[in-house]
Amino acid sequence: MAKVHHSEINGLWYILCPACKVTHAFGIGHGFNGNPENPTIEGSLGWTGESVDGVRYCHSQVNNGMITFVSDSQHGMAGQTVELPDFNA
């Protein structure tokens, strides 16, 4: 099952963040290996916004289908690496 979703409307790619429980987008500024089942995204993803339990900052890296939350993330998964969940669009 795919772990990323491509929007034909705006051209962005999306992952479902298991920490924030919302989508995070990436686009042409990030390299993507093109494998939706086992994605690697070059560079880190920074997101600030409102999640299901409040406003926060989420900072992550995606490598081989795993998401690593950088220690400056403002949620309980900071410093952890977990499997990226399937994206059911």
Measured CA to CA, the distance from residue 5 to residue 3 in angstroms comes to 7
Q: pLDDT at position 89, please?
A: 59
Q: pLDDT at position 55, please?
A: 59
Evaluate whether residue 71 is within a structural domain. yes
Evaluate whether residue 88 is within a structural domain. no
Say which residue the tokens 């993330």 belong to: 73
Statement: the pTM of the whole predicted model exceeds 0.95: no
19: its two tokens: 């920490």
Q: Is the pLDDT of residue 14 over 80?
A: yes
Under 8 Å between Cβ of 58 and 69: yes
Domain extent, residue 67, equals 5-83
Percent of all residues in the chain with a pLDDT value above 90, rounded to a whole number:
80
Evaluate whether residue 66 is within a structural domain. yes
Counting the structural domains of the chain, the total is: 1
Measured CA to CA, the distance from residue 6 to residue 59 in angstroms comes to 21
52: left (phi over 0), alpha (psi -120 to 50) or beta: alpha
Evaluate whether residue 89 is within a structural domain. no
Nearest to 84 by CA among 24, 27, 8: 24
